[in-house]
Amino acid sequence: MKILILVLVLLISLNLSALANVRLNNYNSNLTENISHKFSTIENEKAYTKSTNTNYLIKQGEKLNVYNLNGSIKFIGWNKHYIKITAIKKVFRNCCDLNDLHMTLNTLNGLSIETINNSNDSRARIDYIINVPRNILFGEIFTRGNIKVKNLPNDIIGNIRRLSNR
């Protein structure tokens, strides 16, 4: 009888340990699936956007400076004597973060455009499309994003200095 009880206890122990391994393996695979799902959700997450436009009449000899931490900048040359700035704000966490992402303009010694991010969204950015006179003078252009230039003479393009940090 003692041997029978010992065999039963042994079989029950083996069965319980096998059951625990199956549950543990299922838990780990679910955890992996949940983590990969969260990463793919973040990558596919849509941005909340808001676009604004403003114009600035630039005088001969004034320079344009742009300080934009994360966004891209596209300069388009045209035959007008003012600058048209289209700022496209993009945030990814919360649409309310759009109110905490700002474009500031300083007109002391030319025009300086600066992006201020007071949101908690580290991916928040402003992408600029800036129409400029063909004879524009560039000062400092700072961005970690892309800079594109269209319809500007080569000597003007050569004056664009991209700074790596500010």
Distance CA 115, CA 101 (A): 7
Which secondary structure element, helix H or strand E, spans residue 21, and what is its range? Answer: helix 2-43
C-alpha distance from residue 130 to each of 43, 66, 100, 106 (Å): 28, 10, 22, 16
Distance CA 144, CA 39 (A): 23
From first to last of the 166 residues of the chain, give the pLDDT tens digit: 677 676 666 667 666 555 555 444 444 444 444 444 444 445 557 899 999 999 999 998 999 999 998 899 999 999 999 999 999 999 998 889 999 999 999 999 899 999 999 999 999 999 999 999 999 999 989 988 899 999 998 887 776 766 555 4
